[in-house]
Structure 1
Amino acid sequence: MEKDIKQVVLLIDDNDDILEFISDDLSEKFHVLTATNGMEGLAILEKEIIHLVISDVMMPQMDGFQLCERIKSSIEFSHIPVILLTAKITLQSKIQGLELGADVYIEKPFSPEYLQVQVSSLIENRNKIKAYFSSSPLLHLKSVAPSKADEEFLERIQCILDKNIGNPDLDVVHLANNMHMSRPTLYRKIKSICNYTPNELIQVSRLKKAAELLNQRTLKIYEISEMVGYSSQTHFGRVFFKQFGMSPSEYVSNQQTENKKT
């Protein structure tokens, strides 16, 4: 996990003073991009990897509710947490925001510290899930999905990877073509969900498939390395160790010990 790199927060509000105030407060921990309405915000989302969106509700051109609906209904952006800020304090407005998929709904006026805690909590929880997926040999890709739409997206990715796992030439071009997405869009989506580039995800998927096969204990390590697209068992062992902190043979031994316990 890239702990030393600031996560990117997109802040959207049509009030310049509020934009500056919140941006200054958050910029110590996060890299903050700003927009003055939903349309500007969408344009930024289409170009940048955004880890979280904070949006006012009452804005011209496209308000916060409309923006939230666009984000949560689009496969390109549905994984991004959304915090809505509003002076509306009616129960119905809260229900509307949450029904549209908002992760957090904060009433104005609010404490800057409270907003920062909410932002940190949402991002840290997502990062913990990504890290757990990365270090767990048998954890399925869909486990990092923050929504049902993202789970379906990742299952489609997994299906393509499984069908081509033994192909050493499998790459992002093949993946993008099969997903019917542009390479930049696929890159942003995968990078945001699991913190890997598409090519890194391909390698991790090869290693997780190898762990699954190793766990079955019916094939030799060199046979498995070839099955998942590695022509060299030495190279396979090296990348397996780098990913999971143990060699393939150590992994098999550990699994045997665990199975005896149960």
Structure 2
Amino acid sequence: MLPIQPISIDTEAPKIILSAREQAAVERPPVAVPEKISEPSVLEADAPLLLIVEDNTELREFLASELSATYRILRATDGLAGWQITQIELPDIVITDVMMPRMDGYELTRLIKNNPDTDHIAVVMLTAKASHQSRIEGLREGADDYLAKPFHLDELHLRLRNLILHQQRLRDQYRQQLAQPELPSPINVVEDAFLHRVYNLLETNLSDSSLDVNWLADQVAMSRKTLYRKTHSLVQLAPNELIRQYRLRKAADLLQAGHSASETAHLVGFKTPSYFTTVFKEFYHKTPSEFAAGGLNKV
């Protein structure tokens, strides 16, 4: 409690005498805030989707504010809400605290990394539990990165950017496996377990011209919406386009093996050789006959 009494404007306030050390502290210039890391400008619809799971309101909103210039932001107040949002929205990255009510960050990470719908999502643990054992536990559950509080924003930006770049490199790699017939067949080299499962399904049923998104969604036990988001996250292709490109890549392999264009069209599920020729030329810029005659080096 401080005694307060009104004073007139003419009253001289008592002077405060500071020590030399205190005076230097008062006169010290403000600490420079490091500049934000320059990020490539992206359209809002194309920006990576980031989920922040944090029960501390101030920190959650601070992170959302700082990252919203680069990422589309989702928020969750605990691990259970974060898991529900993750299943629906399939964000590119989840930033999660460890100690939270209802479900902690370890359990959330375990669920994300052990579910085929969500196992491609990167997880960053952001927590005050900075001990070696805590880091080991988080990494054991599948976390892609671990950042201790207090943290530097420039470091967080860099770590997120590196995860996004890694995801993009994988997408480019998977799409090249489909688009470049000089590369090994995608089913033999793809690293992602979900894509490998999809390719196996397509490989087994490729001659069936009725294959569509509904069939594929049933086979992998996903809704159409979840399947779309999953395939787009992995290869930036809609499911129907993934089916079509896999047909064409298989067709290229068959043509190289000596099959005729009409036989290949049937084997990869096109109803007519003429339509197969049109689609193949749009994708590989050669007719099937030209492709078969020209070999790999001329594609």
Q: Against the structure 1 CA distance between its residues 229 and 84, is the aligned structure 2 distance closer, same or farther, given a 3 Å change threshold? A: same
| Per-residue deviation, 1:115 | 1.1
Q: Name the structure 2 match of 1:95.
A: 136
Does the 8 Å CA contact 1:144/1:193 hold for their aligned counterparts? no
Maintained 8 Å contact 2:78/2:100? yes
The answer on 1:75 being equivalent to 2:103 is no
Q: Which structure 2 residues correspond to residues 195-210 of structure 1 after superposition, within 5 A?
A: 195-210=236-251
Matched, 1:240 2:286: no
Whole-Å Cα distance in 1 between the matches of residues 144 and 290 of structure 2? 41
- Tell which deviates more after alignment, 246-255 or 69-78: 246-255
**Bigger relative contact order, structure 1 or 2, given CA contacts below 8 A and separation 6+?**
1
Q: Amino acid of the residue matched to residue 47 of structure 2? A: K
Structure 1, unaligned runs of 5 or more: none
2:227 to 169, 176, 186: 186
Question: Which structure dedicates a bigger proportion of its chain to helix?
Answer: 1
Structure 1 residues 177 and 247: alpha-carbon distance in aligned structure 2, compared to 1, 3 A threshold: same
SS for the counterpart of 1:205 is helix
- How far apart, CA to CA, are the structure 1 residues paired with 2:157 and 2:286? 38
Asked whether 1:15 is paired with 2:56, we answer yes
Number of the residue aligned with 2:211: 170
Counterpart residue identity of residue 222, structure 1: S
* Aligned residue-pair number: 250
* Equivalent AA in structure 2 for residue 127 of structure 1: Q
State the SS of the aligned residue for 1:46: helix
How far did 1:239 drift?
3.3
How far apart are residue 143 of structure 1 and its match? 5.0
TM-score for the superposition, normalised by structure 1:
0.85
**TM-aligned CA deviation for residue 250 of structure 1:** 5.6
Q: Which residue of 1 aligns with 2:80?
A: 39
Greater mean deviation of Cα atoms: 67-76 or 168-177:
168-177
> Where in structure 2 are the equivalents of 1:80-229 lying within 5 Å?
80-136=121-177, 137=180, 138-141=184-187, 143=189, 145=191, 150-151=192-193, 153-216=194-257, 218-229=258-269
The offset of 1:122, in angstroms, is 1.0
Alignment RMSD: 2.4
What residue number does 1:63 align with?
A: 104
Question: Aligned equivalents of 2:92 and 2:200: distance in 1?
Answer: 26
Residues 24 and 128 of structure 1, relative CA distance in 2, 3 Å threshold: same
Instruction: Indicate conservation of the 8 Å contact 1:54/1:85, yes or no.
Output: yes
Residue 180 of structure 1, CA deviation: 3.5
CA distance in structure 2 between the partners assigned to 1:175 and 1:133 by the alignment: 19
CA displacement, residues 153-193 of structure 1 (integer Å, 9 cap, x when unaligned): 33332222112212221112222223334333333333322
Q: Is the Cα–Cα contact under 8 Å of residues 135 and 243 in structure 1 kept in the other structure?
A: no
- Percent identity over the alignment is 36
Residue pair 2:280, 2:288 contacting (<8 A) in 1 also: yes
User: CA deviation digits over 1:91-143, x for unaligned, max 9?
Assistant: 10010010000000111111112111111211221112212221333441575
CA offsets per residue over residues 2-38 of structure 1, 9 Å max, x none? x741111111111122112211222112111111111
Amino acid at match of 1:8: L
Worse overlay, 83-92 or 237-246: 237-246
The Cα shift of 1:247 comes to: 5.0
C-alpha change, 1:84 and 1:233, in structure 2 (3 Å) is same
Structure 2: which 5+ residue stretches go unaligned? 1-41
Q: Deviations over 1:29-82 (max 9, x none)?
A: 211111111111111112113111111112111111111011111122111110
Contact kept? 1:133, 1:139, Cα under 8 Å = no
SS in 1 for 2:248: helix
In structure 1, C-alpha distance between the alignment counterparts of 2:142 and 2:204, rounded to whole Å? 33
Tell me the secondary structure at the aligned position of residue 269 of structure 2: coil
1:201-244 Cα offsets, whole Å, 9 max, x none, are: 1111101111211222x112232123212234454344334445
The 1-side partners of 2:291 and 2:262 are apart by 15
2:28 corresponds to: none
